[in-house]
């Protein structure tokens, strides 16, 4: 029997994502000056206030207030009526030095023996239902909000938009786990009070609210959706039809939003950051953490494995788990499941078991923290780009960054989203006889 699956996303102006973006911007600033920086920065944002906290071990000096304000400005919180803006909000820093007890478990005289920054399990997932090997519901949810933000920043259409927004997409799947149609789309977007009530009565205010919501609904269907569809491949466009149920600002007007409407915290959108509820999640957040924290680096490495396995044709979908003990370099375990979608045979001609696949993965990929950092360039300042619209499924690109300290600075190029590269497909095909 067909079933429904739903994923959500949140915009860069959502309070939790504001916090994530500030935390990752701080991380990048420390790495620009000192690639060996050990960083765990947490951010809280609320009405008129940003609180920065966490632990750092670094040779760098960073003006953390300036960084926070620049992020808030870039997102679009630049007006006093938002009750949270880049110029007027207070910024309090309570960042202190990393615990020596933690540091001694991570750093080693031989860098290759670097221990994991914490215990825990991390997951990576991939599926062939989209071109970027991500779950479809999450990919569409992200794209809706990326386009909504682009429209807001262009400033020529939907000029009432404010930075805070959420989306949700429900997809109907067949018994064989193949997407059949887009069933429901939910979008809630913050906006100006762009229709003035004809009077002070409740009826007049309600009528103004109805007019605003109706205008937003029309613009979503007539402006946003065509832009989104243009970016999707034809096979995905075919899943959209006139029978989609839309819920646009279903609670009514949404003027009060952002950190004024809801306090934001780093690390509170870990499902949005990963796979939208598909696969699994170990519970660790990403933003604000340097690559010695395997919560982040090993999750990227697990995604890289899963994506390359699926792209190579080993399975239609794959989940990879890796687990660590704090201070120990070698993982305590590596697990793979293909949910019964394996496409490879063993030496006897039988479908290869997930355990056999995991053994081969262990031979192909070095999952020690040092090896992961080197493989993906995770001491480079490449993390700000990850802090909104997902850490996975993104397109690698080159960014130019000014690095160095104490007056010795140079512009260098770094590659972002390196864990999304399909650079092990040929090795996997050889190992699995594909």
- Candidates 17, 82, 19; CA nearest to 47 is 82
421 in a labelled binding site: no
Give the distance, in angstroms, between the CA of residue 9 and the centroid of all CA atoms in the same chain. Answer: 9
Do residues 267 and 339 touch, judged by C-beta distance below 8 A? no
16 in a labelled binding site: yes
d(CA 341, CA 354): 10
183 in a labelled binding site: no
329 in a labelled binding site: no
Q: How many beta carbons lie within 10 A of that of residue 14, not counting itself?
A: 28
DSSP-assigned letter for residue 231: T
278 in a labelled binding site: no
The widest CA-to-CA distance across the chain, in whole angstroms, is 80
262 in a labelled binding site: yes
**At a CB cut-off of 8 Å and minimum separation 6, what does 118 contact?**
284, 293, 294, 295, 324, 326
204 in a labelled binding site: no
253 in a labelled binding site: yes
166 in a labelled binding site: yes
DSSP-assigned letter for residue 418: G
Positive or negative, the Cα torsion across 298, 304, 307, 311?
negative
146 in a labelled binding site: no
Do residues 187 and 205 touch, judged by C-beta distance below 8 A? no
DSSP-assigned letter for residue 396: P
Positive or negative, the Cα torsion across 400, 405, 406, 408?
negative
Measure the CA angle with vertex 137, ends 133 and 138; round to 5°: 70
**At a CB cut-off of 8 Å and minimum separation 6, what does 152 contact?**
76, 158, 161, 162, 163
d(CA 181, CA 177): 12
293 in a labelled binding site: yes
H or E element: which one contains 173? strand 161-173
d(CA 399, CA 134): 24
d(CA 421, CA 124): 14
303 in a labelled binding site: no
Do residues 319 and 341 touch, judged by C-beta distance below 8 A? no
* Beta sheet of 90-97, edge-to-edge order: 90-97, 49-57, 38-46, 264-265
85 in a labelled binding site: no
DSSP-assigned letter for residue 224: I
Do residues 217 and 245 touch, judged by C-beta distance below 8 A? no
268 in a labelled binding site: yes
Annotated binding site for L-methionine: 55, 98, 262, 293
Annotated binding site for ATP: 14, 164-166, 253-254, 262, 268-269, 285, 289
Annotated binding site for K(+): 42
Annotated binding site for Mg(2+): 16
Annotated binding site: 14, 16, 42, 55, 98, 164-166, 253-254, 262, 268-269, 285, 289, 293
């Amino acid at each position: 029997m067909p079933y429904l699956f739903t994923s959500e996303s949140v915009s860069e102006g959502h309070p939790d994502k504001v916090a994530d973006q500030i935390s990752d911007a701080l991380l990048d600033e420390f790495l620009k000056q000192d690639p060996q920086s050990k960083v765990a920065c947490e951010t809280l944002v609320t009405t008129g206030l940003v609180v920065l906290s966490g632990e750092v071990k670094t040779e760098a000096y960073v003006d953390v207030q300036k960084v926070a304000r620049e992020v808030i400005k870039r997102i679009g919180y630049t007006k006093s009526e938002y009750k949270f803006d880049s110029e007027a909000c207070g910024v309090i820093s309570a960042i202190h030095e990393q615990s020596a007890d933690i540091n001694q478990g991570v750093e080693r005289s031989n860098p290759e023996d670097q221990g994991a920054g914490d215990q825990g399990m991390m997951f990576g997932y991939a599926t062939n239902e989209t071109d970027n090997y991500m779950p479809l519901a999450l990919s569409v949810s992200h794209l809706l909000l990326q386009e909504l933000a682009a429209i807001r920043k262009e400033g020529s259409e939907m000029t009432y938009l404010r930075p805070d927004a959420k989306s949700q997409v429900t997809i109907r799947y067949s018994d064989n786990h193949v997407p059949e149609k887009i069933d429901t789309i939910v979008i809630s977007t913050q906006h100006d009070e762009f229709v003035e009530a004809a009077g002070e009565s409740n009826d007049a205010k309600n009528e103004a609210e109805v007019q605003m919501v109706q205008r937003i609904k029309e613009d979503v269907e007539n402006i946003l959706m065509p832009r989104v569809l243009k970016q999707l491949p034809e096979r995905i466009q075919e899943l959209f039809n006139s029978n989609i149920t839309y819920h646009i600002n279903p609670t009514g007007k949404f003027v009060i939003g952002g950190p004024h409407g809801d306090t934001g915290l780093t690390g509170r959108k870990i499902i949005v950051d990963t796979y939208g509820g598909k696969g699994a999640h170990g519970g660790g957040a990403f933003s604000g953490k340097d690559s010695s924290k395997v919560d982040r680096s090993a999750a990227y490495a697990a995604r890289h494995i899963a994506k390359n396995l699926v792209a190579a044709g080993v399975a239609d979908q794959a989940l990879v788990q890796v687990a660590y003990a704090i201070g120990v370099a070698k993982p305590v375990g590596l697990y793979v499941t293909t949910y019964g979608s394996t496409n490879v045979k063993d030496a006897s001609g039988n479908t290869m078991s997930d355990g056999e696949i995991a053994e081969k993965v262990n031979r192909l990929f070095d999952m020690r923290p040092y090896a992961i950092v080197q493989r993906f360039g995770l001491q480079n300042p490449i993390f700000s780009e990850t802090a909104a619209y997902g850490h996975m499924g993104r397109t690698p690109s080159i960014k130019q960054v000014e690095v160095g300290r104490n007056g010795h600075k140079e512009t260098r190029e770094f590659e972002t989203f390196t864990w999304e590269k399909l650079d092990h497909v040929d090795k996997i095909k050889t190992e699995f006889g594909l």
